[in-house]
Amino acid sequence: MINSPDSTNSADTRNIDLVAVVRSGRTLVAGAGVSGRGAISMLQDMGCPEIVLVDDSPQGVSVAGEFGIACATSSAAVELLDDAAAVVTSPGWRPDSALFIAAAAAGVPVFGDVAVAFAGDRALLWGPSRKWLVVTGTNGKTTTTSMLAEMLGERGQAVGNIGVALHDALKAQPRIEVLAAELSSFQLHWAPNLRPNAGVLLNLAEDHIDWHGSYENYGRDKTRALMGGVAVYGVDDADVVEHVEQMRSNGEFGRAPIGFTDAAPEANQVGVRDGMIVDRAFGTEEENLGEGIIIAPAAGISPPGRAGILDAVAATALARSIGTPAEDIAAALGSFEVRAHRGQVVFDHGGVPWIDDSKATNPHAADAALSGHDRVVWIAGGQLKGADIAPLIAKHAHRLQSVIVLGTDRQEICDALARIAPAVPVTAIADTDKVDAMAKACIAAAESASVGDVVLLAPAAASLDMYSGMAERGDLFAEWARKATTIDG
């Protein structure tokens, strides 16, 4: 059964006039980071009469001073709810935070910065309203959003988790007409009023369950991307399809949702036929029911493999939903290069590409990365966060030429490999120094890789056991890809 979001962000807030609410009285802003600062700026643009920043760090006092507003600790802020109009939260604050539980009890609505940005844009506070194209999913959001921004050209811009901050985008000169917004499940949870021109749900896999309370709630929050004019969804993902069918039965779509796939598209889908991306959803009725509109070649898309093609097809569907010409999409895909740490080829030595997919921080993302290659020397490991690695290994054992494992949960991965794929050579790196561990992993990979293999960093695990984040892990991999092949050769 698919559950609705929790009561701190319930259905009765979906159609509220947020601009009128924040103009009516005190608004608390939870968090002094980038999202919090943007929220304060937008609230001031809206004419909010009193803003109080809620933050327990020394940074909070400093930020409040910059904006000329008061600052309160999270415990003190609870006492301010009696005559508060709203709470605006940064996306990282959990729904079960004491402030939000108290807000629910006091009948004070809680929103995020995305909700504020969307409400202000629709209220024409920053000129005529923009077109919002929203991208979400467990994996592939950044690549899809980046592709979409390229397709939009000068009239569009990537915003949200990548690109320009929302408030800056809404006030930018020259004006940004189309917002390609990458939004997380956290941001969507706090944006019950969001009704984008089009939105896509790429895929679903277990992630952030501790924050959302259940996989069902996590998936339901993701579906908020589909609540606008055009809903685009991955028809090859069973969990996505389940949510879409539930929404369809609840009458939550204004028009029939549009599917995307890497297979030949049916009517009302965008897909791939005979090596070409084909649109059978956004042409004339005759085109949609017939052969469709040929958009661009699927070959040569960055990143390589099925995941890259699916991201390109999803981005194509969003771009086509607002009438982007096929030739603009083809030109964008032809020149697009994936962002760092998301399937980027960082080195090529002796016919062996070295691919940095450090962003593959869970088995679902690593599955997509492995699926794109026939012969893989796989560098894996880190913090599994309780994820089961065995199904991933079973699915891809046939393509593994060797595996190099590092990180805090390396033994769990080694045990699964020994049980499921005993013929695959495994090298375990016990070193816990981040540089030494990656150096040894890359040297071992260079020694085992042959022409026709790829060396793939797709850890299926988080990085914080040794690294400051997935970017540092990927950067060290790229550095040692070059050094290791020199040592090897």
Binding residue positions for ATP: 137-143
Kindly state the tokens that stand for 9. Answer: 């962000």
CA distances from 227 to 119, 250, 279, 315 (A): 15, 12, 22, 18
Strand partners for 270: 260, 279
Determine the straight-line distance between the first and last CA of the chain, rounded to whole angstroms. 57
User: Residue ranges for the binding site?
Assistant: 137-143
Q: What are phi and psi of 111, to 5 degrees?
A: -130, 170
H helical segments located in 107-184: 113-122, 141-152, 166-171
Q: How far apart are CA 265 and CA 249, in angstroms?
A: 23
Query: How large is the C-alpha radius of gyration of the chain?
Result: 23
How many other C-beta atoms are found inside a 10 Å radius of the C-beta of residue 421? 17
Q: How far apart are CA 128 and CA 295, in angstroms?
A: 30
CB 81 within 8 A of CB 102: yes
Alpha-carbon dihedral 279, 281, 287, 291, rounded to 10 degrees? 50
Shortest CA distance to 424 belongs to which of 364, 375, 489? 375
CB 285 within 8 A of CB 125: no
Query: Helices 326-335 & 141-152, crossing angle to 10 degrees?
Result: 130
Q: Over 277-316, what HEC string results?
A: EEECCCCCHHHHHCCCEEEEECCCCCCCCHHHHHHHHHHH
Q: What are phi and psi of 460, to 5 degrees?
A: 60, 20
Q: In what order do the strands lie in the sheet with 70-72?
A: 70-72, 50-54, 26-30, 84-89, 110-112
CB 225 within 8 A of CB 210: no
Kindly state the tokens that stand for 274. Answer: 């005979």
Residue type at 334?
A: G
Kindly state the tokens that stand for 472. Answer: 């540092």
Looking up tokens 């609540």, which residue turns up?
Answer: 227
Residues 151, 154, 156, 157: is their CA dihedral positive or negative?
positive
